[in-house]
Amino acid sequence: MKKKFNLEDLDCANCAAKMEEAIKEIPGVINASVNFLAQKMMIEAPDDQFDAIVEKAVACIAKVEPDCKVIL
């Protein structure tokens, strides 16, 4: 499954790159991207693990930039 999420208050381009790196390292993630300009996160992961992976990704984002919120 591939899904896009909107992000709020993503203020730093460097952080977006760091988030992307961190999310890609979550086990099970096939592909992921964090687009600074579009303020969007894309996650591609197997259906059965998807929700768990999204949860981990949200935690990754909070770790890099606590102000940044994922709109689920």
Supply the minimum distance, in Å, between the C-beta of residue 14 and another protein: 5
Q: Which residues bind another protein (CB under 8 A)?
A: 9, 11-14, 17, 33, 35-40, 63, 66-67
Strand partners for 8: 69
Supply the minimum distance, in Å, between the C-beta of residue 53 and another protein: 19
Supply the minimum distance, in Å, between the C-beta of residue 39 and another protein: 7
> What is the Cα Rg of the chain in Å?
11
How far is 4 from 26, CA to CA, in rounded Å? 17
* C-beta of 13 vs 52, nearer to another protein: 13
Instruction: Quickly list H helices, 1-72.
Output: 13-24, 50-64
